[in-house]
Amino acid sequence: MRISVALCTYNGAKYLAHQLESFVRQEHKPDEVIVRDDRSTDETPLVLERFAETAPFAVRWAMNDRHLGSTANFDRTMQECTGALIALCDQDDVWRPEKLQRMEAAFHEDPSLVLAASNAELIDAEGQGTGRDLWSAVGFSEGVREQFRQDAAKVLLRQTCLTGATMVFRRELLPMELLSIRYKRFGFGTFGLLLARDRCDKIPPRPPLRKGGGGGISRGR
């Protein structure tokens, strides 16, 4: 199953190389990485150019003609992906080697699955563990997760508990014109699950990425 990574960048040179390196270390490498830079003024374009020259998979990146902002930039980047699965990615995340393999396995095991998301270990701006995880930080407790298993939409309308940066979804969701409207209204972390009427799920138990507080868009490792 072809996997595209949709990555948006903006002045993220300080962290970006760590995320790009984590793509190369994937047990199941992406088939393509699609990047749109939102008019960075630091060395982000240089980092992307160098990576594109050496990566063991296709890397297509371009700089926007004007600054779009994160939401519009992700929308445009996703539309350029060609894989059957699209993995969303923040510029300052770092993925564990098993992330894409585990995500793809979930879709193979359940053909009705249209979107999967995961927890994430939280780190500080220096990449050190904080001892906390994303779900705990946003109040996605075991009790709430049990409610989620029964009625995901009801929980997501009440609180944002999953983030776009942990999501992988089938490309068939993209033609829906409500995509941008949905995630602008309810938050990027809920748009896919609200659209995924057929089947959605989470990937337990070890977070396949670490996420914390860096610059630009977000930080994860």
φ/ψ (deg, to 5) at 66: -145, 165
Q: What would the pLDDT profile of 158-199 be if each residue is shown by its tens digit? A: 777 777 888 899 998 876 543 544 444 444 444 444 444 445
Under the phi-then-psi rule, with left for phi > 0, alpha for psi from -120 to 50, and beta for the rest, what region is 159? beta
- The residue among 1, 173, 8, 28 whose CA lies nearest residue 83 is 1
152, exposed or middle or buried, with CB in 10 Å at 0-12, 13-18, 19+? buried
How many domains, the chain?
1
Return the pLDDT at 41: 96
β-strand partners of 153: none
Contact 39, 32 (CB under 8 A): no
Q: Which pTM value belongs to this model?
A: 0.82
Higher pLDDT, 158 or 204: 158
The residue range of the domain holding 70 is 3-220
Domain with residue 81: its CATH number is: 3.90.550.10
3-state SS, residue 117? strand
